[in-house]
């Protein structure tokens, strides 16, 4: 389903703007989009823990959190792993991209993320989808995320929380999603991630 489904309500832009206007704690912050995923352990608790850990990061404020979606694992045989819970978080930060990546890895490690195999199951995945309008081919951190435009499990929740979003170098998220479709990305309306206070 896409966010055009009347049962899935996107976060109103006015809510995001209100939070932005109220935040005077960061000087000249940059906007970043972070995708979260978990398919081991208590998936919802892990995603909430990641949101809270991001908010606890000096120089970073969580601005919006998407609805939770359940999806099949990417790049592996169907049924070979548990399904994922996915969400997208919008943040404002004074951290440079490399430091934001480092913080993401630290949060993954705090939740016992193991990098034993490519496309392996994981307790937590923290991916920087985009950072302001930065386009970079740096192998340590390619921006925007090189496969974000192919991943409905990133685009659907991002579109829900920011319907007018643009993926740098790729265009409007709504247009990317219209071409890609959203098969297999199922809204979990019984679950909710809290925006840190």
Contact 149, 119 (CB under 8 A): no
CA distance 92 to 30: 5
Whether 179 is a known active-site residue: answer no
Choosing from 43, 61, 113, 151, the catalytic residue is 113
**Of 39, 37, 35, 64, the residue nearest 144 (C-alpha):** 35
Whether 170 is a known active-site residue: answer no
Whether 113 is a known active-site residue: answer yes
Beta bridge partners of 37: 86, 125
DSSP, collapsed to helix, strand or coil, labels residue 61 as strand
Choosing from 103, 122, 151, 160, the catalytic residue is 122
Whether 56 is a known active-site residue: answer no
Per DSSP, 136 falls in state B
Number of helices (H) and strands (E) in the chain: give both, helices first: 5, 8
Per DSSP, 149 falls in state G
Choosing from 103, 125, 151, 160, the catalytic residue is 125
What residues have CB less than 8 Å from 114, skipping those under 6 apart? Answer: 120, 122, 123
Contact 18, 86 (CB under 8 A): no
Choosing from 61, 127, 151, 160, the catalytic residue is 127
CA distance 180 to 70: 17
Q: Show which residues are catalytic.
A: 113, 122, 125, 127
């Amino acid at each position: 389903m896409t966010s055009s489904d009347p049962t899935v309500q996107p976060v109103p832009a006015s809510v995001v703007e209100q939070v932005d206007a109220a935040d005077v704690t960061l000087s000249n912050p940059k906007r970043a989009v972070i995708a979260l995923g978990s398919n081991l352990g208590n998936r919802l608790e892990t995603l909430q823990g990641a949101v809270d850990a991001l908010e606890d990061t000096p120089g970073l404020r969580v601005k919006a959190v998407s609805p939770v979606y359940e999806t099949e694992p990417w790049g592996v045989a169907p049924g070979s792993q548990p399904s994922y819970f996915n969400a997208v978080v919008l943040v404002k930060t004074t951290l440079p991209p490399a430091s934001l990546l480092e913080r993401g890895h630290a949060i993954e490690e705090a939740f016992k993320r193991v990098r034993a195999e490519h496309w392996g199951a994981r307790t937590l995945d923290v991916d920087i989808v985009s950072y302001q309008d930065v386009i970079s081919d740096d192998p340590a951190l390619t921006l925007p995320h090189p496969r974000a435009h192919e991943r409905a499990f990133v685009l659907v929740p991002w579109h829900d929380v920011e319907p007018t979003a643009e993926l740098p170098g790729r265009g409007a998220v709504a247009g990317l999603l219209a071409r890609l479709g959203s098969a297999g990305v199922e809204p979990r309306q019984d679950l909710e991630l809290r925006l840190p206070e």
